[in-house]
Amino acid sequence: MNMFARRMRASAAAAVFCLSAAIPGWALADPMRVAFGDIATVESLHLLAALERAKEKGVDVQVTFLKSEDIAAQAVVSGQADIGVGGPYALLQKVKAPIRIFMQLSKLQFYPVVNSEAYKEWKDLDGQEIAVHSRGSGTEAIMKLMADKNGIKYSNISYVPGAEVRTGALLQGNVKATIVDSSGKRVLEKEAPGKFIFLPLGEVSATDEALFANTEYLQKNQKDIEILVESILTTWREVAADPKAAIALRDKYKLLPDATPEMVADIEPYFTEAAATLPLNGGGEDAARDDFEFYTISGALEGKPAELKVEDFWDLTALNAVLAKTGTK
Amino acid sequence: MHMAASPHKVGATGGAGSGSSSIVETLAEFARRRKSFWVVVSLAILFTAWEIAGRVPISFAFPTFLETLSALIEMALDGTLLPAYLITFQPLLLGVAVSAVLGIGLGIVMGLSDKAEWLLAPVFIVLQAAPMAALVPLVTFVYGIGLVAKTLAVIMLALPVIVLNSYKAVRHVNPSLVDMCRSFQGTRMQQIFKIIIPDATPVLFAGLRLGIAAGFIGVMLAELLITPTGIGDLITYHRSVANYAHMYAAVASIIAVSTLTLAALQYVELRFLRPEKRRK
């Protein structure tokens, strides 16, 4: 009998322990799990600040940083994350997943660049090798688009993932023609002024990063989504009006605590340059149309741009509600 | 080993019998005679489970077996698969060749000399235990992103396996054979080349086979972690544009190629090097 009592006590203790571990989970509302497709850098500083603001307004935001955009998209598809950051157009079209984009965060901002010792302009790249991020990426689409516009053909396209890797390869001389991001551009201008020529780029307007979520999640959590969209729009407008605001936001919310001094020094130049193209109205239908044009060329989307339907890719409910409240800019 | 036994054969033998009980008997008899029957059954169960899992579906991104198969056939016919394999095989063959020569050489030296063993064995034991997936990206810091880096990744995985197996092969040579050589006043050279190496050959070859298996892991790690080329590019690209059937087909094809290569090597090994292990 004594034995039995001891066992009962042990089971009761175990049950209480399990309950006490589980109750905090029930007591709180479900958190909003946001999955980034990349590590946090200066370029995501404003988004991190906007997430902090959404937290202040009562949305329990939990952020995870994943290795790539694909993984972030998979996390949303499988329900392990609620909101993903990226541009999952191919996924939306080919996998009939109930996922919709609900706001645009940034547009592609890339700079085709050549080593001036080898090339001077687009025409010089005819029959030459170039390097881009990866097959089917936005960087490849931009380079292909410009080749078409200039009536040239590359001999070969090699894939070197990471703008910073391509920047390094340019400086070392391993790559003579490639395309880099804005921080790569600044590095090139600083390290070897005049050695590299940035080639002119026509009008390219396409989503680089957007927020997307499961349709069911969007319907059930409309209020939280609206708070998030509003936080992002106000932060974006603030940073666009005054790029220095990004530094203030970093200090206020103690973001990127382990950023190196070079990264911190990069904040203001980055946002000064990004301010011009920062989407202040969350993209919406116009952005979707631009994306259809661009991503059908890049190969991420199939079909004719005019035949693609915005509602198959975007859910504008939350964005429109917020824009009605805050006005457009 | 008879890997190529097809289900058609099973049907034909079964059809020859009279009545349903004799079909079962013939099948049972066939299964007894040929172990490959169970390979076919095992694969059929796997593929059926895959097909069902794809149809449920367990995830929006999980294609069915038939979709994957048609994607594989499509890639084989439109000429994307073969060039991809040619690219993937470059670092693989280079790496395996270097590992084989270097590995068997080092292994034999370690097996013959205690000093070489003390010097080298710990290094390779550590290397074999090290999680290579974590080390492969470090290679890029020194050797960049080209063929050298990828070949090195293959070597990193294949070499320790080959070295350690060769070393053990030499250590476990039949001592009475070595004694016999000494009784006949054989020189050290004769002892090594006429007794030790021939006697160690079966195990050396087994080590080589394991090394090639590790080489396949190495080349895939390199193509997924360093830069996407060859089969790694097919996997990465089709994942990024959400062609999941094609992505799975690329993954399945490299598994199939690796398995078939190893099966062929095992066949060679059993046929020519290890008469004692043959079943018939």
Task: Give pLDDT, residue A20.
Answer: 52
Please state, in angstroms and as integers, the Cα–Cα distance from residue B264 to each residue in A55, B267, B268, following that order.
Answer: 60, 5, 6
Task: Give pLDDT, residue B108.
Answer: 95
What residues in A contact B243, CB-CB < 8 Å? Answer: 90, 94
Task: Give pLDDT, residue A320.
Answer: 94
- Checking if the pLDDT of A130 tops 80, the result is yes
Q: Which residues of B180-194 are buried (b: 16+ CB within 10 A; e: fewer)?
A: ebeeeebeeeebbee
This complex has an ipTM of: 0.70
Residues B143 and B91 sit within 8 Å (Cβ to Cβ): no
Assign A24 a pLDDT band (cuts: 50, 70, 90): very low
CA-CA distance, B170 to B167, in Å (whole number)? 5
Domain parsing of chain B, residue ranges: 7-62, 76-277
Task: Give pLDDT, residue A262.
Answer: 85
Strongest mean pLDDT among A66-75, A101-110, A162-171, A200-209: A101-110
Q: Which CATH superfamily is domain B76-277 in?
A: MetI-like (1.10.3720.10)
Q: Read off the pLDDT of residues A29-59 as tens digits, 9 standing for 90 and up.
A: 689 999 998 888 888 999 999 999 999 999 9
Q: How many Å lie between the alpha carbon of A53 and the closest alpha carbon of chain B?
A: 32
What residues in B contact A88, CB-CB < 8 Å? Answer: 242
Contact A77 B228 (CB under 8 A): no
A96 touches chain B (CB under 8 A): yes
Q: What share of chain A is helix, strand, coil (3-state, %, to 5)?
A: 55, 15, 30
Assign A103 a pLDDT band (cuts: 50, 70, 90): very high
Structural domains of chain A in order of their starting residue, each with its CATH number: 32-106+209-326 (3.40.190.10), 110-198 (3.40.190.10)
- Checking if the pLDDT of A8 tops 70, the result is no
A80 touches chain B (CB under 8 A): no
Kindly state the average pLDDT of the residues A178-195: 89
Task: Give pLDDT, residue A12.
Answer: 63
* Average pLDDT value for chain A: 87
A174 touches chain B (CB under 8 A): yes
A94 touches chain B (CB under 8 A): yes
Place of tokens 């902090």: A52
Task: Give pLDDT, residue A161.
Answer: 81
Residues of chain B with pLDDT under 70: 1-19, 274-280
Task: Give pLDDT, residue B7.
Answer: 46
Q: How many Å lie between the alpha carbon of B32 and the closest alpha carbon of chain A?
A: 44
Task: Give pLDDT, residue B139.
Answer: 86
Contacts of residue A263, defined as CB under 8 A and 6 or more positions apart, other chains included, come to A41, A42, A256
Assess whether the previous peptide bond of B57 is cis (omega < 30° from 0): yes
Instruction: Tell me which chain B residue has its CA closest to the CA of residue A77.
Output: B60
CA B137, distance to chain mean position in Å, is: 23
Indicate the pairing of strand A83-86 with strand A207-214: antiparallel
Q: Write the DSSP string, A100-120.
A: EEEEEEEE--EEEEEETTT-S
The residue with greater pLDDT, B5 or A109, is: A109
* A positions 213-272 inside 8 Å of B (CB): none
Task: Give pLDDT, residue A174.
Answer: 83
- Checking if the pLDDT of A17 tops 60, the result is no
Which pTM was predicted? 0.76
What residues in A contact B236, CB-CB < 8 Å? Answer: 134-135
